[in-house]
Amino acid sequence: MNANEMAEFFQLFFLFKKERKEKMNIFDVYCESVKMELEKMSGKDVEITKVQKNNTTITGVQIKSEGNIAPVMYLESFFEDYKSGMTATEIAEKIYRTLSEHTGSDIDISNISDWKYVKDRLIACLIGQKGNQDYLKDKLHIDYLDMAVVFRCVLNTTPGVGAASFVVTEAIAKNWGVSLEDVVRATSNSPMMDDFEIMSIGEALGGLMPGFYDDDEVPAGPPMYIISNKIRLYGAGLLTNYKAHNALREKIGGDYYILPSSVHECIAIPADGMDPEQLRAMVRDVNATMLSPEEKLSDNVYLYTYDEEIDHVNCKVA
């Protein structure tokens, strides 16, 4: 696989993940109209909230559920349909139908203040330090190269809706009666951090476009692997997981570069014969053209090497 072919496959993967979100003056009108329709359909209070995510703020809608955490759906996901002619009523019906199918998945919040309950539900999430200084001010976090690790408690996952989860703040940790070191240790031992998948680029493209791509159709050359967790959310945090790196090293057979393709997954490629500047240019192009702000992780590329004498994985900005 030459450089042009590798760039083509790299970009093709993100072309089918692309979620470009436009903000216009009609967006607020659209949100309020959908909210009113949802209230009519559900007979319950509906709340629209601004949710601060990595590098940006997005708009969530939630049908209130007393005593439980109800799923949140993000209105940006349906805004293109609205601009293309779908009515607020039709969008509200789609949202309400999806949420109604998962009413049994509401999460009882009575246990979220119990450290013994939450500690096995923690995952590490990576975000870029650049542009997130304000976001990180009240979050429990540690530095990781030029990125930051924040910690998220995943209470439940619902297919087609997402995950019921929350980011651990300093105030939440204080309420649990634990330190940053306690949270780091619990996250390292969390069963959720071991629930990862490593797929070839052909397998990943085949999943996005069934019947169109498989490994036999990827040009010969350095293999590329996608690494993420099985819930496909915040999977880049697996870069902090030693078991994940062991699995990658077995797949690749040596040192490798990590391309931080988004906060949800990363791409690994053998280091031999690769030009890090060329890889960095690919990452920056995808970040600039195919990712929404909250998905962007970093413009850099990272080299991972293994020291056999001390059984340790070294990493650095390439």
**Same domain, yes or no: 85 and 137:** no
- Last residue of a domain, which of 85, 107, 129? 107
More confident residue, 18 or 303: 303
Distance CA 224, CA 258 (A): 10
255 dihedral zone (left: phi>0; alpha: psi -120 to 50; beta)? beta
Residue 274 has pLDDT above 80, yes or no: yes
Over range 214-229, report the average pLDDT: 72
Residue 163 has pLDDT above 80, yes or no: no
| Close Cβ partners of 139 (under 8 Å, ≥ 6 residues apart) | 150, 167, 168, 169, 170
What is this structure's pTM? 0.70
**Same domain, yes or no: 228 and 247:** yes
- At residue 22 the predicted structure's pLDDT band, cuts being 50, 70 and 90, is very low
Number of domains, the chain? 3
Q: What are phi and psi of 151, to 5 degrees?
A: -120, 135
- Flag whether 3 is in a domain: no
**Same domain, yes or no: 100 and 211:** no
Residue 277 has pLDDT above 90, yes or no: yes
Where is average pLDDT lowest: 17-26, 83-92, 123-132?
Answer: 17-26
Over range 165-191, report the average pLDDT: 94
Domain that holds residue 68: 26-107
**Same domain, yes or no: 188 and 209:** no
**Same domain, yes or no: 206 and 287:** yes
- Flag whether 226 is in a domain: yes
**What whole-number percentage of the chain has pLDDT above 70?**
78
Kindly give the interhelix angle for 76-83 and 88-100, rounded to the nearest 10 degrees.
150
- Flag whether 103 is in a domain: yes
Structure tokens at 78: 């349906």
- Sort strands 312-317 and 302-307 into parallel, antiparallel or unpaired: antiparallel
- Flag whether 13 is in a domain: no
**Same domain, yes or no: 185 and 231:** no
- Last residue of a domain, which of 192, 220, 253? 192
**Same domain, yes or no: 212 and 250:** yes
Residue 161 has pLDDT above 80, yes or no: no
Across the chain, mean pLDDT equals 82
**Same domain, yes or no: 304 and 244:** yes
**Same domain, yes or no: 172 and 123:** yes
pLDDT score, position 19: 43
**Same domain, yes or no: 202 and 313:** yes
- Flag whether 8 is in a domain: no
- Last residue of a domain, which of 107, 140, 172? 107
**Same domain, yes or no: 212 and 288:** yes
- Flag whether 10 is in a domain: no
**Same domain, yes or no: 85 and 174:** no
